[in-house]
Amino acid sequence: MLIKTLRAGLGQMIVLGDALTRPRPQHRSVEGQARVVKEAAGLSLYQFHACPFCVKTRRAMHRLNVPVALQDAKASPMRERLLEGGGKVKVPCLRIEESGKSRWLYESNDIIAYLEQRFAGIA
């Protein structure tokens, strides 16, 4: 019980710290941002709100100005979808829909590297 309370409190402190220190989003031309929005339509991030690795990933998405749909992996239908599609309930997990196929990318550093490689160079 004590551990659960500590975890919840620390999680909320992480979320508050993120809100207070969030990086500025990347500025792009109108055409460039429209391209990012179109390409990001096939992305979904399965995450827990207060998970430090999920916060790290969301900060990178904010910094890169990439609108990715967020899915709460604690909710039963999303948890089941994550398990069926990705093979494990582990967050953060980025679901990438391309050419009618789904790819599931785990690990915050791998997700951030993918987003930077795909979106950082769009002006």
The class of domain 2-119 in CATH terms is alpha beta
Cα separation, 55 vs 17, in Å, equals: 10
Task: Sketch the domain layout of the chain as residue ranges.
Answer: 2-119
- Reported as type and span, the H/E element at residue 71 is strand 69-72
Res 8: pLDDT: 81
Cα separation, 48 vs 92, in Å, equals: 8
Give the global pTM. Answer: 0.90
pLDDT at 6 over 90: no
pLDDT at 46 over 90: yes
Determine the 3-state secondary structure of 74 from DSSP. coil
Q: Which of 25-34, 57-66, 80-89 has the lowest mean pLDDT?
A: 80-89
Give the tens place of pLDDT for each residue, 50-81: 999 999 999 999 999 999 999 999 888 988 99
